[in-house]
Each structure stands twice: as structure tokens, then as C-alpha cells.
Structure 1
């Protein structure tokens, strides 16, 4: 009769090996993807993220530039003040900090 414990351990070892192989294949498939600048959006926006959360909404692009235009944002390979980032947009109205955050991240992700 086969040792049940030994059989279970061998089966666990085989499953662990298959899992490692799957992870390696997945990593190879993602190898050509660009790494994000930051995993957490609030880190990418720095102190501006906190300021946006406490800002009164609705607000406009003009009001945001007046209040936070000097805040420096990390862009791809550079830093830019919020005023420069939002300069390409018309005077839009934002209902929440999340709306502003998405717009800014879309603009600096270019």
C-alpha cells in the first residue's frame, strides 16, 4: 500500500510547481507592458490629492487653477504645475475630487 502522506506531499509539490510555471508564463506575457509611474494615484498627485478632497464642489477649472495652480505634479519624465497641466482644457465644471483626479491623471498620463 502507498503511503498516503507521501502521496499528498508529492501532489502538493506538483501543484506548487505548476503554480510557479503559471506565474512565470504570466510574467513573460506581461513583459512588454510599461510599468506604471505610481501604483497609488494619491501618491502621484502628492499634496494636491489632499487639497482636492477638502475643496468645495462643484468647481471649475479656473477655480482650481486659482487655488492650486502652483502645485507640482509628476508627469512622465518631468514635473509640471497644475496650471500647465490644465491649460489644455476648457473651463470645465467638476462635481467631485474624484472627477478632478481622473481628469488630471488623464492629462499627465499622455
Structure 2
């Protein structure tokens, strides 16, 4: 038995999509910096990360920022793992960790 077809709901455009039904885009995109931070040896200070990766850019939906400017207020901070760096960047940019596509544990495991 076939189900009734609602032609109005089958349109090809997504004009009536429910934003609550889809996962939100990540608040901050780290790009190649993500892999570099995962491969870096820890513990490490913010000053050391700034020295090595300071020119790297992180992107938010509305702007871009260099890592050196994001971490400049915490040069003495020591990070034990990449997840702590990620949290510091998110905090400095004013973004909560609401990114389902990049769970914190993904930052400590390199892809195979």
C-alpha cells in the first residue's frame, strides 16, 4: 500500500527547511591548524604555540583571526593537550563548544 504523497512538501528547494532539524555549522573553523595542533608535542605554552603557529588563521562565521591575536592574553598558560588549546581559542573568540562535528575527543585522536 502506497503512502499518500504531499506534493507541496516534495519541492526540490529547501525554502521551508527547519533550522532546528539540522546540525548547526561549527562556530570556529581551524583549517590546517587543527592537524598541526593535534600533532604538536604537549605540554606546551601559549607563547610556544604563538611562536610556531601565530600566523595561522581561525575562522568564525563573521570574521577571521590569527592565532597569535587570539592567544595573546594567555602567553603563560600551559596546555596539556590539543583539546585545551581548542577550548582556549573558543573562549577567547566568545564561542561556546556547541560544535557536534568536532567533539573535543576528536582533537586528541589523529585520523588513521
Is this a same-fold pair by TM over 0.5?
yes
Question: In the aligned structure 1, how far is the partner of 2:39 from the partner of 2:32?
Answer: 11
TM-score relative to the length of structure 2: 0.58
For the residue of structure 1 that corresponds to 2:51, the secondary structure is helix
Question: In the aligned structure 1, how far is the partner of 2:61 from the partner of 2:54?
Answer: 19
Post-superposition shift, 1:45?
Answer: 1.1
Q: 1:68 to 1:90 in 2, by over 3 A?
A: closer
Unpaired runs of 5+ in structure 2?
4-17, 96-112
Q: Deviations over 1:49-88 (max 9, x none)?
A: 1000000000001000001000011135111110011112
TM-score relative to the length of structure 1: 0.59
Unpaired runs of 5+ in structure 1?
1-12, 14-26
Q: Which moved further from structure 2: 83-92 or 94-103?
A: 83-92
What is the CA RMSD across the aligned residues, in angstroms? 3.0
Q: Aligned residue for 2:44?
A: 59
Given that residues 69 and 83 in structure 1 are in contact (C-alpha distance below 8 angstroms), is that contact kept between their aligned partners in structure 2?
Answer: yes
* 1:48 equivalenced with 2:33 (yes/no): yes
Q: Aligned residue for 1:88?
A: 73
Given that residues 70 and 93 in structure 2 are in contact (C-alpha distance below 8 angstroms), is that contact kept between their aligned partners in structure 1?
Answer: yes
Aligned length: 84
Moved over 2 A (4+): none
Post-superposition shift, 1:91?
Answer: 1.4
Q: Whose relative contact order is higher, 1 or 2, with alpha carbons under 8 Å and at least 6 apart?
A: 2
